[in-house]
Amino acid sequence: MRYTTLAFIILLLATLSGCVHRQFVTQPYPRWGEEILINQANDANPLLLRILQPTEPSNALACLLLVHGMNEYIGRYSEIARYFAQRFIVAGFDLYAHGLSNPILQQADQALIAGAARQEVSDAYLAQIPLYDLDPMRQNLSHALKHLIISCDEQGKSDKPIFIVSHSLGSLIAASYLLSTQIGNEPARRVQGIVLLGPAFSVTEVPGWRGWLANPLIKLSFHAKEHFLNPQNEPLPLMIMNQIVSLVIVPLLDGIFEVLSWPGLRTLFTPATPDWVVDYFTDSEEEKARIRADGWVIRRTLLRYVKGIEAEIVHFRRHMSEFAIPYYLIYSGHDPITPSWGNQDFARATLQNHPDNELLPLSKLSHHEHLFSSQPLRDEFLKKIEHWLNLRLLSLNREKTIK
């Protein structure tokens, strides 16, 4: 009885840790490039597109759109933007509910600019409330892409190729957008290649002792969602069993996560980002310290949003073999945040779809944010990405010559 009570107290403390979480920002949002205000439909907050150009924009070889990952923001990417802006027109934006697309963070930024010493942003995660799926973020991407094309076309030639460099959840958003619009959508048709960095094509595998408890539940939820009303050519007895399990598990878990996202309950049950996640972001201790001190990174994730991402991964995997855009896929072999099996499945299904598709599996690495690696590894990744972009440009020039 005593041990049961102790276990209950530990579980309760772990659950309630979210409600004592407080977060502040003390410096204005880190801006880079020129800001372009994009008005959106349905009274949504305007989208801020950042554009950084070479010294001679008309000499830019192509245009490049940066897409950040879950709970971060594009202001972090100033050094990356400046690197590519030596030869490309570079743009970036904050996804829905992130950065300056988040009303709480936007208000905090305005207060700091006006002279406030600090602003509390503990409730920034509440902007995730409408996120049952990634559609609002794909709409952001579409708006940003259209305006980047306009900016590119203003600089001399009107047929500059567009490339996307995306990270983690941003890769899932960009890839699913391109997959759903690659036929008959003009902005998507201008995209001539995408760099996928640690893409969210799989669900998280919690490392260490925490994984003993969490991973079986995560895998059960994902397995049930993958098989929900979707037979996968398994033997009939196994198919029947999978369907029965999924018909019970999927509505049950979806219902629980939805209830725990309701007002009142979400304050108690929305988890804060665990320490191990930051440990696996980068191999740089300096960067880890910077992330831990960064108030613009959202520290809590609404459970409804988590389930929505899981469903998006499942839906993408069902159709990923149709992905036709040339890509450069970079992933770490021991990354627990977006495990390698999702990338390997994607590569097996799509590598043959275009001769310029290329993989960079980093079998010995475990960190997630490749563009925020320690030096000289960070520069090495940037050079490899630039090299692949150059190869794509050569291929496009050859195609034009043949035509």
Output the domain CATH number for residue 283. 3.40.50.1820
Residue 3 lies in a domain: no
Cα angle 31, 145, 58; round to 5: 75
Residue 239 lies in a domain: no
Q: Report yes or no: 283 and 377 within 8 Å, Cβ to Cβ.
A: yes
Q: Which domain holds residue 67?
A: 23-206+268-402
Residue 241 lies in a domain: no
Residue 94 lies in a domain: yes
Residue 175 lies in a domain: yes
pLDDT in tens, the chain (403 residues): 443 333 333 343 344 444 456 899 999 999 999 999 998 776 667 899 999 999 998 889 899 999 999 999 999 999 999 999 999 999 999 999 999 999 999 999 999 999 999 999 999 999 999 999 999 999 999 999 999 999 998 876 668 899 999 999 999 999 999 999 876 677 888 999 999 999 999 999 999 888 898 899 899 899 888 887 787 778 888 888 888 888 888 889 899 889 989 998 888 888 888 889 999 999 999 999 999 999 999 999 999 999 999 999 999 999 999 999 999 999 999 999 999 999 999 999 999 999 999 999 999 999 999 999 999 999 999 999 999 999 999 999 998 887 6
Residues 6+ apart with CB under 8 A from 352: none
Alpha-carbon torsion 209, 211, 216, 221, what sign? positive
In total, how many domains does the chain have? Answer: 1
* Plot region of 393 (φ>0 → left; ψ -120 to 50 → alpha; else → beta): alpha
Residue 368 lies in a domain: yes
Residue 119 lies in a domain: yes
Residue 253 lies in a domain: no
Q: Is 343 helix (H, G, I), strand (E, B) or coil?
A: helix
Q: Could you tell me the two tokens for 157? A: 């030639």
